[in-house]
């Protein structure tokens, strides 16, 4: 009587061999608290430089004055957030050159770091909400599936959009209250200035003129404009995702046509195998490119020491010695 022998997937020898040849490789960290520290330090240096230059060139800036340090912080934040009220403007060659450099550095390098910092903070918030929902018990499966994508293990984009828009509404509301009670503006003008500020329009017909108002604006404008930018990014992501899902459905639903047969027949042997069909569909979906496939094939050929069209355990051991 013949006996079929099956390879044990839990063989101790294989496990030990894997630990020796392939030690644990840490995954790259694409986001870490270090970016928050870097952004914070660089923003402090950026603002400190602005304070120093503004302090020694106060007479070359035109605008309503409150306190030099508060005014320069207010000027820097309005500049880096690209609002540009126009209530404080440079009025000499030196200050104009400084403003040009200040805008270019702030709009480019610093904004990039701040975007990374905000992304990291929002990722932490998303992970916290995911853990909260996942440990909420089995009684709220419908609510949990609406908030998170269980298969992908991440928050649904509609929930991200809702959270981002909620933060924007909150920022506008805080701004309305502060402008009404601190700047003594009417409710309509407070709402008008709040919306024009967080959307970085900044007409300049309504601005912050008091010392407490500008102190509030330095923090509020910084947070609000970044929140609005993130909200618009999520909205764009939602629209792109919806279009991508429609395209994916169309690609997966339609059959292979005669005109597509030759491109799908990768090895030109007169027929399309299942593997070739899968690769062709992945390329059509944009999931993988021809360059990616070539790199994968090169890696396979490098591991296939015997050039037999397959990778054996002996090949792996030999390739690592």
* pLDDT score at 17: 53
pLDDT, tens only, 47-95: 888 888 888 888 888 888 888 888 888 988 888 888 888 888 888 898 8
User: Is the confidence at residue 141, as pLDDT, over 60?
Assistant: no
pLDDT at 265: 82
Measured CA to CA, the distance from residue 171 to residue 177 in angstroms comes to 10
Question: Same structural domain for residues 276 and 218?
Answer: no
Instruction: Clarify whether residues 190 and 238 are in a common domain.
Output: yes
Q: Is residue 182 part of a domain?
A: yes
| pLDDT confidence band for 120 (50 / 70 / 90) | low
Q: Lowest mean pLDDT of 86-90, 147-151, 241-245, 271-275, name the range.
A: 147-151
Q: Which domain holds residue 185?
A: 33-250
Q: Across the chain, what does the average pLDDT equal?
A: 77
Contact 167, 231 (CB under 8 A): yes
Could you tell me if 157 and 193 lie in one domain? yes
Do 246 and 261 sit in the same domain of this protein? no
Q: Are residues 106 and 225 in the same domain?
A: yes
* 67 & 215 share domain: yes
Mean pLDDT of all residues in 224-235 = 81
159 shares its domain with 278: no
Query: Which residue spans within the chain are E strands per DSSP?
Result: 61-63, 88-90, 148-149, 154-155
- The pLDDT score that the predictor gives to residue 15 is 52
Q: To which H or E segment does residue 188 belong? A: helix 187-198
- Asked if residue 303 and residue 200 are part of one domain, the reply reads no
Helices 93-105, 33-56: axis angle to 10 degrees equals 170
Of residues 25 and 197, more confidently modeled: 197
Transcribe 111-130 into DSSP letters: HHHHHHHHHHHHHHHHHHHH
């Amino acid at each position: 009587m013949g006996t079929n022998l099956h390879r044990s997937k839990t063989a101790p020898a294989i496990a030990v061999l894997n630990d020796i040849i392939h030690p644990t490789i840490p995954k790259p960290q694409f986001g870490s608290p270090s970016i928050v520290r870097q952004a914070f330090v660089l923003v402090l240096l950026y603002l400190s430089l602005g304070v120093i230059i503004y302090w020694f060139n106060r007479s070359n800036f035109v605008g309503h004055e409150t306190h030099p340090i508060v005014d320069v912080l207010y000027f820097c934040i309005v500049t880096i957030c690209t609002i540009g009220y126009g209530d404080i403007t440079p009025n000499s060659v030196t200050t104009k050159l400084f403003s040009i450099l200040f805008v270019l550095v702030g709009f480019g390098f610093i904004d990039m770091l701040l975007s990374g910092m905000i992304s990291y903070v929002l990722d932490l918030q998303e992970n916290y909400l995911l853990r909260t929902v996942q440990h909420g018990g089995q009684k709220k499966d419908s609510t949990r599936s609406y908030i998170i994508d269980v298969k992908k293990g991440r928050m649904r984009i509609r929930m991200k959009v809702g959270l981002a828009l909620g933060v924007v509404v909150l920022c506008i509301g805080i701004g309305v209250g502060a402008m009404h009670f601190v700047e003594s503006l009417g409710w309509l003008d407070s709402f008008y200035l709040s919306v024009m500020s967080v959307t970085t329009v900044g007409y300049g017909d309504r601005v912050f003129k008091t010392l407490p108002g500008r102190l509030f604006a330095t923090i509020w404008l910084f947070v609000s404009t970044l929140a609005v930018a993130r909200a618009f990014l999520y909205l764009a992501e939602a629209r792109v995702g919806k279009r991508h899902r429609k395209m994916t459905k169309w690609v997966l639903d339609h059959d292979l046509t005669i005109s597509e047969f030759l491109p799908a027949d990768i090895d030109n042997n007169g027929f399309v195998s299942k593997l070739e069909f899968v690769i062709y569909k992945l390329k059509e979906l944009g999931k993988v490119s021809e360059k990616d496939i070539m790199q994968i094939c090169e890696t396979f050929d490098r591991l296939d020491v015997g050039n037999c069209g397959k990778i054996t355990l002996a090949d792996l051991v030999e390739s690592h010695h």
